[in-house]
Amino acid sequence: MNRMKNITAALGVAFSIALCCSSVEAQTPAETSAPASIGQFMSNLNPMNWKMPSFKSMLPGQEDKTRIIKKKDGLVSDVKDTASKSWQKTKEIFDPSRLSPANLFVAKEPATTETKTPGFFGSLFAPQEEAEQIATATDFLALPKIER
């Protein structure tokens, strides 16, 4: 009894595969409109007549190929530009004229006279400026008003 169920299930699977394979085959518009004959239907059930489905639809089209090539060429040129800039900077750093001892003691540009504001950590860790002590009401009223 179990063997009969297994055979029936196998035939059902083979039948459904045959129907799928027959619908995968390329058909002309004339074939799709006309009903299939019994002989053709039965020949599609024969595994010897089955065809491998084509995977051309999975391959990239021409527009995808050109986009990929442009992207690849752009990436190569970006890497080439970065490498050439890095090489130029390396040559500047190791330039023998910059490494001569005469250049070690060259006067630097004069410092500007602008007052420097402390950086973030400098303002955090610097000692607080002493605030004026207001002794009288007149001193308090003389303070500038805060705009809101």
Report the number of distinct structural domains present in the chain: 2
Q: What is the pLDDT along the chain (148 residues), one digit of tens a residue?
A: 677 777 777 766 766 676 555 444 444 444 554 566 888 888 888 888 888 877 777 788 888 888 888 887 778 888 888 999 999 999 888 887 777 666 666 655 655 656 677 778 877 887 777 777 788 889 888 888 888 7
Q: Are residues 38 and 75 in the same domain?
A: no
For residue 62, give both structure tokens: 């021409």
Q: Find the DSSP H helices in the chain.
A: 2-24, 29-33, 38-45, 62-93, 96-99, 120-125, 137-141
Q: Are residues 85 and 52 in the same domain?
A: no
CA gap 78, 27 in Å, rounded: 47
Any domain includes 108: no
Q: Are residues 45 and 74 in the same domain?
A: no
Q: Are residues 48 and 13 in the same domain?
A: yes
Q: Are residues 72 and 42 in the same domain?
A: no
Any domain includes 22: yes
Give the residue numbers spanning the domain of 22.
2-56
CA gap 25, 47 in Å, rounded: 14
Any domain includes 41: yes
For residue 134, give both structure tokens: 């207001």
At residue 8, the pLDDT reads 73
Q: Are residues 31 and 51 in the same domain?
A: yes
Any domain includes 111: no
CA gap 61, 68 in Å, rounded: 11
The residues near 143 (Cβ < 8 Å, ≥ 6 apart) are: 134
Any domain includes 25: yes
Helix (H, G, I), strand (E, B) or coil at 75: helix
- Does the reported pTM lie above 0.85? no
